[in-house]
Structure 1
Amino acid sequence: MTVEQTTTHIFQTSFGKVIALKNRGVIKAQSIRYARSERFQKPVAEQPSSEIIFPDKIPVCPQAISPLAEKMIGPTHIENFEPDESTQYLSVFRPDSFTENEKLPVVVWIHGGSHEIGCGDLPTSDPSDWVREQQIIVVAVSYRLGLFGFLGGGEIPPNLGLFDIIEALKWIRNYISEFGGDAGNIILLGQSSGGDAIAHLMISEGVEGLFQRVIIQSAPLGLRHKRQKMSAEFLKKTEGLKTETDVFKMMEEYKKYVPSVIKYGLKAAMPFGIQYGYPPLCREEESIEKWKGNAKKYDVLIGLNNNETAFYLKTSDALNKYFGKGLGLKIMDKTVEKTTELIYGIPAKIFAENYAKAGGNVYLFRIHSGSESSRIGAPHCIDLPLIFGNESAWKSSEMLKDIPWEYINENGKKLRAIWAEFARTGNISDDSEKPDILKIRKISF
């Protein structure tokens, strides 16, 4: 078999000269800086430049490596990444086969990771398979996380990560047409905390005309309520770190304070997050009416995986020691079911129904396992290999170890086609071929 060689492609844009890599029918322009920021300051848009854009390493917000993510998804090869507090970068993926003057729908990927870990440019979210199959453009966005992006108050502005994403969307609106994208058809796609961010971008100030549709996967909307006291306490505990110059020391030190907020219950599983009552957001008590008021602005596809919290509960060695079989396993299954509904399922259903009642176009979905070989069903993050494919990146995933890749790929191709249909039109035809693992319906009243 012949291995296709990687070559370069040059985008001559009004923003600058961008050197991209071309391989297997996809052109990738990597790590384009869209904004800059000082520590705990709002981002400032990057200006056009005559400098050539072609980074050799992937910038990433300083973060602590997650042992659970390493186990379930795969190891992070840190030698490929460059820590950068000012993490305002994006990458553009475009099909190589392209008709001049063609304008493709643009899917903007907002990664998850509890507003604490992750990056827009991880191999496990490389969208090349999707771009190649469906003739779409995908833009992957990196933004500030954790202490730098999602914890503030007093002198430190909250929601800096949201402000970063808004700057990325402004860049996309201004320049994506020069990469072949349709600036009038921007679709936000977010998973987990990325979905949470997107839901709140829908009610943020300063986003008018920046996107037309949203796909919200596994957003923990059940954790969004009454976070003010927890955020204030966590901010106070970490106050001494704000002037620390060693970012790696910051990452080690803040983890010591996480147990102090466990008393706040389930929401403490995500100590970083959006903060109501600070720009660009409204007060929490105003949020539902804001979503209803914007219902006719955005097409929405929202949903979850059927066994979300199995990712955390059924993979715990300590819990499996006592709940791994017999009656214990039945208790574990019931706990997964209840917590999945509380954090993900019920909030998604309420969101969709409120949106539809207000006149919005909204679809609600649920992804099931459908595979008897999977002991944890359809957990958090199982949607990622379905959407992004890329078998080589997922080969060491514990989450997929009992599932044949052929099964993932077969269902993934159909799911990618459905999501691309929604991206193009805002609708999903009843006649479209859907994977057996997907249950989806339009919410109407």
Structure 2
Amino acid sequence: MTTSVAGTASAEAGPEVRATGGVLLGAVESDVAVFRGIPYSEPPVGGLRFAAPRPAAGWDGVRSALAFGPPVPQTGMLGRGPTAADRADDGWLTVNVWTPATDPAARLPVMVWIYGGGYTVGMSSWSEYDGGRLARDGGVVVVTFNYRLGMEGFAQIDGAPSNRGLLDQVAALEWVRENIGAFGGDPAEVTIFGESAGAGSVAALLAMPRAGGLFRRAIAQSVPGTFFSPSLAAELAAACADELGLRPTAADLAAVDPALLALTGDAVTESMPARADRWGQAGSRSVLFSPVVDGDILPVTPWQALAAGAARDIDLLVGHTRDEHRLFMLLTGLLGQVTPEQAESALRDFAPGGDGARRYRDAYPDAGPDELHELVHADWLFRMPSLHLAQAQVAAGGRAHLYELTWTAPGMGGALGACHGLDVPLVFGNLTDGQPAMLIGESPSPEATGLSARMRTAWTAFATHGDPGWPPYDPDQRRTQIFDVDPIVTTYPEDRSRRIWQDHVFTALSLHDDRP
């Protein structure tokens, strides 16, 4: 149910809300109250560089919450990196709230978004993450936030806690618990949702004792299977620090400008495939940062944690797109260009077990090099980790709902299919601004707008009631919601890949020397 916006200020001045830090002045946009750039943690600079987040200090008077906070330090991607003005402001750790009602009595469900970007890029200010439509149409409070990335957030360095980016996420969720009631939200009805690295973060939070009690439901869209052992993470961080002639310690790196430190990863990433003999699958795939299974902040992998019942009481919605790797093939120039030798190398490096390559060729006898290369990468990185997360949850007596997005986006003549990231604009309903236009086109078709409406309805229904509108997954019938022009519920469609991976265990990626 949607309640009209109410605030203590005049309509001309905008709504005001009293949070724990002080009074915030927001704006009303399309019948939704919006508050941007609210600090949830002190800036992690100076003496707090590489430290766990600390609650933000309060303020006197009324604080304007009309503009997004600056993005965290990162490199650019597709021309979307921080601007010079952004780099001049270190108030990175902020939250944004879209709410249909600022009446504390509204007690609306809350959806907290965690952006993706390979744990190296991303910002809550990107237009595709605008929560207005989702909040207005779904009658929910939508929260987005920034968290530390790359060396600042995920490098394993001496003298600093592991997984600082995940600790930022916990701090943001603690801010939600303490403040969201003032924005009309219900702190007991919080759903976290994220895509790609955001989904990996969701999976990690399900496994983290420190996140216990901060959310009731979780949506994981395209869960990556990349989690690191401490030794692998430490060696990758050392390689980055070495680009500056420094040791991978908090003391050495604290004096380095955050923007410069973010750039060190570029050179290391380019050289990673040449060191795959040492760095294993992370090197072959050029994955430089991931959550670290350190035994403390993240005690075990999400699959191990869920199988042991760590999230048995959390409702889980999880799924992936059909063509998860297609976009990456385009970005690397491999789309339509894969040689038999490259396909064989991909099968050797990423197919599970000693006979995984043969099993792929047997399961997909008509697949050429392009398809085999794409399939094994998609399965290793996103499709099978997502499926296995649902299976682990169900095996422990929990409930999970599974989906697959199979709609072929019309952008680029449909060449990208149902690619990685296509679900994000469909879920938020922001189909025309920024990157979504590349996939969906400048003028979304009725099929696109209809599919987006169905996905938004499913996501907000799940956040409200724990039921997205189709039956839970079970190991026998394996019922899966297929999102397409004509949506259906059917047996999980990627059964050939499921069988190839059914005995695989997703463990933390490690150095070759550390493997049994």
Using the size of structure 1 for normalisation, the TM-score is 0.86
Is the contact between residue 110 and residue 194 of structure 1 (CA under 8 Å) also seen in structure 2? yes
Give 1:356's aligned residue: 394
Deviations 1:300-339 (A, max 9, x none): 00110110111110344x3247359xxx994223322221
- Counterpart check, 1:343 vs 2:381: yes
1:321–1:294: structure 2 CA closer, same or farther, 3 Å change rule? Answer: closer
Whole-angstrom distance in 2 between the partners of 1:413 and 1:94 = 19
- The residue type equivalent to 2:236 in the other structure is F
In 2, Cα distance between equivalents of 1:125 and 1:297: 28
Match in the other structure for 2:415:
375
Equivalent in the alignment of 1:387: 427
The equivalent of 1:201 in structure 2 is: 205
SS of 2:334's partner is helix
User: 255, 262, 268: which one pairs with 2:266?
Assistant: 255
The aligned counterpart of 2:169 is 165
Query: 1:387, 1:251 → 2: CA distance?
Result: 30
Residue 267 of structure 1: aligned partner: 282
Helix, strand or coil at the partner of 1:149: helix
**Helix, strand or coil: the match of 2:170?**
helix
Q: Deviations over 1:276-317 (max 9, x none)?
A: 125311145x9614553223221000110110111110344x
1:133 is paired with a residue whose SS is: helix
Give the secondary-structure state (helix, strand or coil) at the position aligned to 1:113. Answer: coil
Q: Which AA in structure 2 matches 1:232?
A: A
Query: Which one of 227, 230, 233 corresponds to residue 231 of structure 1?
Result: 233
How far apart, CA to CA, are the structure 1 residues paired with 2:435 and 2:303? 41
Structure 1 partner of 2:324:
308
Q: Is the alpha carbon distance of 1:290 and 1:129 closer, same or farther for their aligned partners in structure 2, counting shifts above 3 Å?
A: closer
**Structure 2 counterpart of 1:400, from 436, 440, 444:** 440
Which structure has the larger Rg over C-alpha atoms?
2
Separation (CA, whole Å) in 2 of partners of 1:44 and 1:247: 19
Q: Tell me how far apart the structure 2 counterparts of residues 304 and 382 of structure 1 sit (CA, whole Å).
A: 10
Match of residue 413, structure 1, among 433, 446, 453: 453
Once the two structures are TM-superposed, the CA of residue 396 in structure 1 deviates from its matched residue by 7.2
Which residues in structure 2 correspond to 1:107-256 (within 5 Å)? 107-221=111-225, 223-224=226-227, 227-239=229-241, 240=246, 242-256=253-267
Distance 1:311 1:180 in 2: 39
Amino acid at match of 1:63: Q
For 2:372, which of 334, 350, 355 is the aligned residue? Answer: 334
In the other structure, the counterpart of 1:436 is 484
Show the 5 A alignment for 1:63-82.
63-67=74-78, 70=79, 75=80, 78=83, 81-82=86-87
Q: Which amino acid aligns with 1:301?
A: L
Indicate the residue corresponding to 2:23 in structure 1: 17
Q: CA RMSD in A?
A: 3.0
User: In 2, distance between residues paired with 1:348 and 1:254?
Assistant: 27
CA-CA distance at 1:242 after TM superposition: 1.2
Per-residue deviation, 1:359:
0.8
Q: 1:335 and 1:62 mapped to 2: Cα distance?
A: 33
How many angstroms apart in 2 are the aligned matches of 1:213 and 1:289? 16
Is the 1:369–1:377 Cα contact (8 Å) retained in structure 2?
yes
User: Contact 2:194–2:202 at 8 Å: present in 1 too?
Assistant: yes
Question: Per the alignment, in what secondary structure is the counterpart of residue 304 of structure 1?
Answer: strand
Alpha-carbon distance change, 378 to 227 in structure 1, aligned in 2, over 3 angstroms:
farther
TM-score by length of 2: 0.75
Which residue of structure 2 lines up, in the alignment, with residue 33 of structure 1?
39
C-alpha separation between the residues in 2 aligned to 1:218 and 1:161?
19
Could you tell which deviates more after superposition, 296-305 or 39-48?
39-48
- How far did 1:247 drift? 2.6
Percentage of identical aligned residues: 22
Structure 1 residue 48: Cα displacement: 3.7
Q: CA deviation at 1:11?
A: 1.3
| d(CA) in 2 for partners of 1:125, 1:203 | 25
Query: Would you say the 8 A contact 2:74–2:81 is kept in 1?
Result: no
SS of alignment partner, residue 364 of structure 1: strand
Amino acid at match of 2:386: A
Measured in 2, the distance between the counterparts of 1:346 and 1:393 equals 31
Q: What is the aligned partner in structure 2 of residue 322 from structure 1? A: 337
Matched residues in 1 for 2:409 and 2:73: separation? 37
Separation (CA, whole Å) in 2 of partners of 1:80 and 1:386: 31
Q: Is the 8 A contact 2:148 2:168 kept in 1?
A: yes
Deviating more after overlay: 356-365 vs 241-250: 241-250
Residue of structure 2 equivalent to 1:298: 314
Task: Name the counterpart of 1:43.
Answer: 53
Aligned residues of 1:7 and 1:22 also touching (Cα < 8 A): no
Instruction: Name structure 2 gaps, 5 residues minimum.
Output: 1-10, 247-251, 344-366, 472-480, 493-516
**The 10-residue stretch of structure 1 (227-236 or 295-304) with the greater mean CA deviation from structure 2:** 227-236
